[in-house]
């Protein structure tokens, strides 16, 4: 009986330990991140904001304003606190692919989900929204690390129901 309990206990520990190892395979985005506005690979996201109905000031700010992002990651969530001279906002992403909603001033209700890609190295967030002109749209962000975890790339793809696709890329450096 003792041997049976020991074997069951070892199997349980391996299963739990294996799960922890699997979670550890994901990159950890935790830290303070500053956009590198001069990075050669960085591209504008102003057109994405324009398609959402953002003002010209908001569009310009997105490409020129330094927005400090403080990211805190656990096994289940990624909390993003974005702080700039204009505003501070916090978003908590559930990393298991579960559906979430958020109300915004510009486009109203956004439905989104976040999950890891197949290799577990890229965090994908897909948001569905209605633009200010009434079009359905999908905004996909792909976050991944480079440079031994010192650089975070955020690829943006904004797809409108009329078939237009608008892309942008942000490069952030860990402080």
pLDDT on residue 106:
67
Q: Please choose, from the candidates 174, 161, 117, the residue with its C-alpha nearest in 3D space to the C-alpha of residue 141.
A: 117
Mean pLDDT of the region 106-122: 91
pLDDT on residue 24:
53
Q: Which of the four pLDDT bands, split at 50, 70 and 90, describes residue 6?
A: very low
pLDDT on residue 143:
98
pLDDT tens figures, 85-109: 878 999 999 999 999 999 877 677 8
Q: Are 101 and 111 in contact (CB under 8 A)?
A: yes
Q: Which residue has the higher pLDDT, 139 or 63?
A: 139
Mean pLDDT (the chain, rounded): 86
In the chain, the percentage of residues whose pLDDT exceeds 70 is: 85
Dist. CA 113–CA 125, nearest whole Å: 6
Per-residue buried b or exposed e for 15-36, using 16+ beta carbons within 10 Å of the residue's own CB? eeeeeeeeeeebbebebebebb
Rg of the chain (C-alpha set):
19
pLDDT tens figures, 141-168: 999 999 999 999 999 999 999 999 999 9
Mean pLDDT of the region 48-76: 91
pLDDT on residue 66:
85
Q: Which of the four pLDDT bands, split at 50, 70 and 90, describes residue 21?
A: very low
pLDDT on residue 175:
96
Domains and CATH numbers, the chain: 28-174 (2.40.128.20)
Dist. CA 11–CA 87, nearest whole Å: 50
**pLDDT of residue 14 exceeding 90:** no
Dist. CA 29–CA 9, nearest whole Å: 33
DSSP string, 123-134: EEEEEEEE-TTS
Sign of CA dihedral 104, 35, 27, 88: negative
């Amino acid at each position: 009986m003792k041997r049976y309990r020991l074997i069951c206990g070892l199997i349980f520990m391996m299963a739990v330990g294996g799960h922890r190892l699997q979670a550890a395979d994901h990159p950890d985005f935790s830290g303070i991140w500053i956009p590198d506005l001069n990075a050669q690979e960085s591209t504008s996201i102003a057109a994405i904001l324009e398609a959402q109905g953002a003002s010209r000031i908001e569009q310009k700010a997105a490409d020129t304003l330094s927005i400090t992002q403080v990211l805190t990651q656990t096994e289940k969530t990624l909390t993003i606190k974005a702080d700039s001279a204009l505003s501070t906002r916090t978003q908590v992403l559930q990393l298991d692919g579960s559906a979430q909603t958020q109300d915004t001033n510009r486009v109203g209700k956004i439905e989104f989900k976040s999950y890891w890609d197949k290799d577990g190295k890229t965090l994908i967030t897909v948001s569905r929204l209605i633009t200010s002109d009434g079009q359905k749209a999908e905004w996909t962000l792909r976050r991944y690390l480079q440079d031994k975890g010192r650089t975070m790339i955020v690829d943006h793809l904004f797809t409108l129901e009329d078939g237009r696709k608008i892309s942008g890329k942000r490069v952030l450096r860990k402080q």
